[in-house]
């Protein structure tokens, strides 16, 4: 329970310290958007690394060399825990954003950081709003912002996954960027498996081989979700950690 208290206190302090940075962004953000996003990426990455350290999380990261050095990418990951983004974000390209559930938009200070980074809030109950979020993500990727998406649509602890939603891959297809499969192992044992306590946990993150949708024929593109999911399943099996 001590780790939980430390993480909560840290978050409170982090958001209080963020207030002057939000003022800077409000004044200079429109004219210097790229610089503000670079700053936000560094600050948020540092914050997430600190949370992982306070949580006692031991991270093993594999395959970062699979991520192209140039250009934006679409990271596609399995979704196990609230700690998925906390764990993987510091190891993504600078800058990177993610598609999150609509409910996170209700948290004022968190919402501000996410908007600076061009994160999208997805409302799965509203088809028109969801399409707007996908179109916004496509434009962000075209502008050089890498994106993270969890195509299962909800958290599924363990190595089993829900079927990936093929619509998620329209971002990579229309933006012309590679898809990077990401396998996240064991994050549910940081918090969800024994709420409300946070416990020391070993986590493995593996970045898989890029998938180039533009190199596929049209019929093959319709099954990109299955192709990516199979690669992630292989990595999860290889990296399985006994809780």
Tens of pLDDT, residue by residue over 211-241, are 999 888 888 888 899 999 999 999 999 998 7
Note the pTM of the prediction, 2 decimals. 0.91
CATH of domain 2-238: 3.40.1130
CA proximity to 89, closest of 46, 152, 123: 46
Higher confidence at residue 128 or residue 56? Answer: 56
Cα separation, 112 vs 94, in Å, equals: 18
Position 243 scores a pLDDT of 57
Q: CB count, 10 Å around CB of 120?
A: 23
Q: What average pLDDT does range 142-152 have in this prediction?
A: 93
């Amino acid at each position: 329970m001590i780790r939980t208290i430390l993480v909560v206190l840290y978050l409170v302090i982090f958001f209080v310290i963020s207030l002057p940075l939000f003022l800077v962004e409000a004044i200079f953000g429109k004219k210097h958007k790229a610089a503000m996003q670079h700053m936000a990426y560094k600050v948020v990455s540092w914050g997430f690394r600190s949370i992982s350290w306070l949580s006692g999380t031991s991270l093993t990261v594999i395959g970062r060399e699979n991520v192209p050095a140039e250009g934006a990418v679409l990271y596609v990951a399995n979704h196990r825990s609230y700690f998925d983004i906390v764990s993987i974000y510091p190891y993504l390209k600078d800058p990177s954003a993610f598609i999150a559930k609509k409910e996170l938009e209700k948290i004022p200070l968190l919402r501000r950081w996410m908007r600076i980074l061009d994160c999208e809030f997805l409302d799965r109950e509203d088809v028109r709003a969801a399409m707007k979020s996908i179109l916004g993500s496509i434009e962000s990727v075209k502008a050089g912002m890498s994106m993270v998406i969890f195509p299962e649509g909800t958290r599924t602890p363990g190595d089993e996954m829900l079927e990936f939603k093929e619509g998620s891959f329209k971002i990579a297809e229309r933006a012309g960027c590679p898809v990077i499969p990401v396998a996240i192992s064991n994050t549910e044992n940081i918090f969800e498996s024994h709420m409300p306590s946070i416990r020391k946990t070993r986590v493995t993150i593996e970045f898989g081989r890029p998938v180039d949708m533009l190199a596929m024929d049209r019929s093959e593109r319709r099954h990109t979700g299955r192709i990516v999911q199979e690669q992630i399943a292989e990595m999860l099996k290889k990296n399985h950690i006994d809780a």
